[in-house]
A and B are shown apart, each in its own frame.
Chain A
Amino acid sequence: MTRKRFHGLKKVKVRASWNKYNLYNLTRLRSPFWGGTFYQQKWLAKSTTRAYHGEQIREGQWEKMFRSRLNAVVPMDHRYLAEHDGSEHAAGRGSGKDRPLDMSEKLREKQQIPWLHMTYAPIERRLDMAVWRALFASSARQARQFCTHGMVKVNGQVMPYAGYLLNPGDMFQVDPDSVMFATGARKESRQIKVGRKVRQKRARLNKRLRLPNPKPALPERRFRQKTPVEEEVEEKEKEVDTWAVPKLAINMQEYRKQRLATMDQFIGTAQLEFERGKSKLGAKRKQDLRALIKDARGIRALINRKSEAEIDDSLAKLIGQFKLIRQTTKADAAAATPKAVSRYQHKKQKILSKRLRELYLKELTTVEEEVEDTSKPYATPWKPRPFMSPFAFIPRYLEVQHSICSAVYLRHPVARPGLAEVPTPFGSDINQLAFTWYLRRR
């Protein structure tokens, strides 16, 4: 059997996607002419609505999720609550206190709660639907794929299950590059070609990085066998000069890992130096060394939170200090060792240059936005994909921060007078019939 079209033109089926076919179908969607038996009407309503609401979920699965109890709220005015205790509604019944009823006025002011638009509210709780509703994916199916591919985190943990039911207060994050790919315009063919080459080059570089070093030269012949401690020290000493890892186009994570290893090496060497020279070193140098190790540990602990430049800077400083401590003699050690910049001074400098830093950041970000990066899977500079704007809305049960591609699921969707929070393209008649379909045997 041939695969059925997801976005068909013959039969108008509105899907959970931003496709242009879907937009066209949305304009063609009409409330059906309700002929046929009640059963036929319900069937039609069910099949129409299910094509949009959780089409990726099996019917049995959805039937288990369905609840006949629907959530709604009524906004209350605290001034009204304070001034009236509610007894005015019951006061003077039959004793002439009530005014004659004006139905037209009542109907006008009272908006009905669209309960039945909440039929598919449980589906909105699913992770994939929430990701799609937060505008992080261009369709519910793509959002589902993002989940299974490990692009989505819930409260900081990777959540590979698209069917995870979000709890109020859960935060979900999607990988920004995936979001930009899903919502961004397609690359031109030129960008695709250039990008492929760039990625190949980058892969080659990374591969070279991971390759083991060429065979080490045979060790020099020595007369005396070295002690293991001495050997280790020598090795570490060699490394001191090779700490400056060549700058390569690698991602931040890998970069951090490398720097973390470098820091470990550095701390190890400094400790060895300290142990070895315990009896020989003077009190001042010992103090300096101890302070240096402490500083290094502090920097190592914060390595994941610091920028590339900051890490490099502090590492360079540490190495410089270490070399100075080792080289200088006892006499000039005190004079030559640069005193560690106190934390307070650091802070002061930061505060002073805050304005400048902001200016710089602004410039940097505008440049970043305009720059072409062919290695990305989307067209750069980034622009939204065509036909996105008519689908762009964010329901109130989500709070989204698009710049970090993260959102918080605040509460379950609710209906309120005149409004329902479940985004459904269908009218109340279809929703009511669909609700009735799922009510059977319940």
Chain B
Amino acid sequence: MPLSLKSPSLPSSITACTKHIYSQTQSRSLSASSRQNSSGRVTRARSQLYRWLGQQGAIFRDPADGHTNYLSAYTPDGQLRRVIEAARDKKAEKKAARDANPNAIIPDAEESGVKKAIPPETTRDLRPFPLNPQFVSQSVLSREAKEKIWEAVMVDGMSVRDASSSFSVEMSRVAAVVRLLEIEKEWTRIKKPLARAYSNAVMNMLPISKFEPDEQRRIAEGIPPHESINDLPIHPATGPQIFHPTSESRVFSRADAAKVFHERLLPADDRVPHPELTIQHKEFTVGLTKEEIRKNQEERDAEAEVIRMRKERRKKAGVVKTIDTSRWAFKFTDINVDKAGKDGRGAQGVGWRYGKPLMDRKRGQVKIPTSVDL
């Protein structure tokens, strides 16, 4: 684009022009962190930014050692809230002790050589966005936990469902952990370099959930589970508030309530990911022994497996009919001509239909695949 002649800063001669350009390039840096704007001055906003980066923001430059480093954990002047609170509590405690017994000598932690430990994070300290208390940086599984899960599934042959309930980790996560660790082991085997430095650094920045494989000890030590494994998805059919008159003497259970919402809606007991836990607990309250409960569960599992296999077989048989000659396997899929519809333009219709344009070259057609098979 030619320079506008109206421009008052237009230099008169060629030498002046080169000079002008030179000075411009000098002052204009491509770096985002340049301290100057195009006119070569530092604006107030920018100087404030740099002041913040040098003072309060300096703590965020490098990861904290041994704990997370989120914005909400700090006061506006860049001090750890939990440290301040702990100091205040300690002061109050000391004061209370002194009031109770003015003659006693209370040992100071610093004087006695005990290094002040940073108190553990609370949920408040794990919020990366100060304005949004509803988002918390939730803890991730430790390396040790992942190894234990992998071992339980791949070495001990535990089912994903059992591993999920015993480690209190979602079923999909158990499967993912196994899958990812398998790949990692493969990489170490073929000596493909791992991103270890990166991995260590990231794990140092994230909250990591405490892991105790033994359930009894976990309960005894009060270690919270990694995540809730029995999440009931809120079904849209349960959205509306329904006034359903029923007799007072009637025992109106969850199953009845589900029927009222929708005739085909299952009760919560069946819609949670681990319905077997409920059944097992029911049996436990009735007074069955552990062995009996396990046996019953195995029977139920076997039944479910048979049903699943049958369904799968039926589904396979229904879709494609295979006629196996000695040389060829002819595969037939049922097709309904009427699916093309009255005007022959139905989406389910098969084959080339005269007068029906193919839309795949038309503008706005999305070509991004919707799924990638394994």
Contacts and interface: CB of A to CB of B under 8 A. Distances in A.
Interface of A: 7, 9-10, 19-21, 23-24, 26-27, 29-31, 69, 71-79, 81-83, 85-87, 90-95, 113-114, 117, 135, 154-157, 159, 161, 163-165, 167-171, 176, 179-180, 183-184, 252, 304-309, 361, 365, 368-369, 381-384, 386-396, 399-408, 410-411, 414, 416, 418-428
Contacts of B267: 86
B180 interface: yes
Interface string B356-374: 0000000000001111111
A247 to B, nearest CB: 16
Interface residues of B, number: 98
Contacts of B368: 161, 163-165
B176 A402 contact: no
A26 B248 contact: no
Given A74-B234, A154-B372, A410-B172, A369 B196 contact: yes
B180 A408 contact: yes
Given A176-B193, A393-B128, A24 B53 contact: yes
Contacts of B129: 26, 423-426
A30 B57 CA distance: 18
Contacts of B52: 24, 27
B63 A305 contact: no
B62 A87 contact: no
A67 B158 CA distance: 39
A399 B371 contact: no
Nearest to A167: B371
B128 A76 contact: no
A170 B373 CA distance: 9
Interface stretch (B101-109, B130-138, B333-341): B130-138
B364 to A, nearest CB: 10
Contacts, number: 282
Contacts of B60: 23, 387, 389-390
Contacts of A7: 32
Given A79-B281, A410-B172, A117 B132 contact: yes
Given A78-B274, A304-B190, 5 more contacts: A77-B230, A171-B176, A176-B198, A393-B206, A399-B180
A154 to B, nearest CB: 5
A415 to B, nearest CB: 8
A62 to B, nearest CB: 14
A150 to B, nearest CB: 14
B206 A184 contact: no
B233 interface: yes
A375 B206 CA distance: 30
B300 interface: no
A313 to B, nearest CB: 13
Interface stretch (B17-25, B79-87, B181-189, B318-326): B181-189
